[in-house]
Structure 1
Amino acid sequence: ASLPASAHAARLGGDEFALMVPNCNDACAEHIARGVLAAVRDADLGSAVTSRRLAASIGIAFVRDRNMSVADALACADDAC
């Protein structure tokens, strides 16, 4: 619910996820990041887990080079984390 319709989300493995959001500028990226962090922070884990809260860190990388590989783009986002 925190993502625009144009976003593509993927689970990379374990607890790592990636989002690709076409035509997203700095303000858009910050808005999405804040929404995702709020959704994670406010997630209802059920009554059995009331003493725990989820947390997340987000790295943002802007891919402006159409020739950049997916691996390089993910490495840039990982470095930004």
Structure 2
Amino acid sequence: MFTVYRADTQHTTRKQLKRKEVDDVLGGADAWKNVDSTEVTCPKCEHDRAYFMQIQIRSADEPSSLFFKCCNEDCQHQWREG
């Protein structure tokens, strides 16, 4: 004969993940030289202007993607739309 016991304890483990280094797919700082800017709000600092470039990253029958970089020198946040 055997006895069944119910386990009431929970165990959790936290592990700090390290992001791997990757190359900038947009070409780095040189890619943002001589690009236009537009009135759009930065989602990070709420600055009202950002540089933008339009790049075709999917197949030709799908729309292009817009990439933005905040004009605020202290922020420089980059994001994508589309």
Query: TM-score if structure 2 supplies the norm length?
Result: 0.30
More strand by share: 2
In the superposition, the TM-score normalised over structure 1's length comes to 0.30
* Higher-Rg member (1/2): 2
**Which structure dedicates a bigger proportion of its chain to helix?**
1
- Higher relative contact order (CA closer than 8 Å, sequence separation 6+): 1
